[in-house]
Chains A and B, each alone.
Chain A
């Protein structure tokens, strides 16, 4: 499976990442090598695997109880910009 530069640019856009042309060239080469390696998986016969979900992630879920958590100040305090307990995001609507 070949991946085109156009596809890589699209992926970068989905990933919300910018690359310079130089970075993109280096990146495309690395990416192709990694994909070639990962493509070996296509050769594995998995026709006998009926259920892809045999790994249970959890034993059981706990009750959803209301209880004290972190304060608003503690949560918002790490935001690069915050005001009065709110996160400040760039303007979306003019």
Chain B
């Protein structure tokens, strides 16, 4: 299974030069999945289908067909992404037996590129959580140390990459759900610009914030995956008409000379974890020594972003989850008095406690008498945050921050304190609130032996700039290879 340590980029080259076949590779991936199954990373393994697709790709390659960089490569997707022939459970008891009759657009795009989807990853139920402990099918363990959480909600997707089960995965990010687990697992995670990647067929949590993105070992691998999944989709009305970019070919300049990196004290003044402080100082020094300029910027309202997030995301979640009535799909109560009682019982049986908490909070902020004080107020503060970021990007190219205030915590440590759990997302949430792209890359190891992550935030549709800076850092300062 040595081969599973490779990067997606190298594996693609090896497939192309026929040093390995896709069938061999999928078999290695399946072996690795089997060897790490105690981590509870995947809910479902698509063994037969994956092997069949691999055979097909090998035949095409033997025929000399021109194939994409992803062709024949094992990939994992989060279990809130619909794929025909698989369960799409969102790690919820409610959808335990749900099979989507159609593919998400990102799945179609991966399949068109020849990627082999080998499994569906466990997550926090309906993507609500920061530890992958709110999973109806058991807690996910961090591959770097199974006593620790992998982060969430895309904890399974990040772990699948860190555990070498696959060469890349898809997660979703509403408030940090790609970047935070990537940071906790020592891998690279990108939350693309809102609208860049279609959400058609992805089960909605908070529609104005949700975005799909890739998790990989390296920045270059990430660019390969983003290129495959980005693009306008007329099945989704928030999809952006943005010109197609060749992220892999065009992003990497191997230089950061003259680059302006924004430093907002608001991201740093609350830090009290020495590991994180140190890793940020190191990163800042590295960037300065390599020709970048650190520019002071002001983002006074990002401290309010988490409160904005909990109001808006819960309001949208309450609305999105209202469709779960036990009639169209999912759990149906067996015994009930009447229709209303049937709704109560089906929903009470189907949803876990965190989901219930968000539905309640959402209905609270949407209820008459509170709507202006909470929902409208949050929208107004969101506007302030967007304006501040937009002013900041007049003076800098990217903004640097830690991805999380600490490295991974132990399983069970925060499970009884929802607010403390929410505070994990304090640096990632402002990005979703402002519809921006951001990437998390490994940047050090904490005292507890767990990886640390650094976040680079870009202006709308500046993914290629993020890739360039992150790749430069990864090649010359710190990379996943140093995370054990």
Contact = CB atoms under 8 A, between A and B. Distances in A.
A57 B208 contact: yes
A90 interface: yes
Given A49-B383, A59-B241, A14 B338 contact: no
A90 B343 CA distance: 10
Contacts of B331: 80
B328 A79 contact: yes
Contacts of B340: 16
A85 interface: no
Q: From DSSP, what is the main secondary structure of chain A's interface residues?
A: loop
A86 B129 CA distance: 36
Contacts of B347: 15-17
A79 B331 CA distance: 9
A2 interface: no
Interface in A27-63: 27, 30-31, 33-35, 37-42, 44, 46, 49, 51-52, 54-55, 57-62
Given A37-B419, A38-B311, A61-B237, A54 B339 contact: no
Interface in B203-243: 208, 234, 237-241
A13 to B, nearest CB: 8
B241 A31 contact: no
B291 interface: no
A41 B360 contact: no
A70 B311 contact: no
A87 B384 CA distance: 46
Contacts of B374: 38, 41
A66 interface: no
Contacts of A3: 364
B240 A59 contact: yes
B310 to A, nearest CB: 6
Contacts of A11: 360, 363-364, 367
Nearest to A36: B419
A55 B329 contact: no
Contacts, number: 148
A55 B435 contact: yes
Nearest to B311: A38
Interface in B276-311: 301, 304, 306-308, 310-311
A75 B99 CA distance: 10
B54 to A, nearest CB: 27
A12 interface: yes
Given A41-B311, A41-B381, A42-B373, A12 B360 contact: yes
Contacts of B311: 38, 41
A57 B238 contact: yes
B380 A46 contact: yes
Nearest to A56: B238
A16 B344 contact: yes
Contacts of B377: 41-42, 44, 46
A57 B240 CA distance: 9
Contacts of B363: 11, 14-15
B93 to A, nearest CB: 13
Nearest to A20: B348
Contacts of A58: 237-239
Interface string A82-93: 000001111110
Contacts of A39: 307
Contacts of A19: 348, 356
Contacts of B422: 34, 37
Contacts of B468: none
A62 B363 CA distance: 31
B345 A57 contact: no
B419 A89 contact: no
A34 B380 contact: no
A54 B357 CA distance: 30
Nearest to A39: B307
Contacts of B307: 37-41
Given A54-B383, A70-B102, A17 B328 contact: no
B53 interface: no
B327 A87 contact: yes
Interface in B2-19: none
6 contacts: A14-B363, A16-B347, A37-B310, A38-B310, A40-B304, A60-B241
Given A60-B241, A89-B339, 14 more contacts: A11-B367, A12-B360, A15-B363, A30-B357, A34-B418, A34-B422, A40-B304, A44-B384, A54-B383, A57-B237, A59-B240, A80-B329, A80-B330, A91-B338
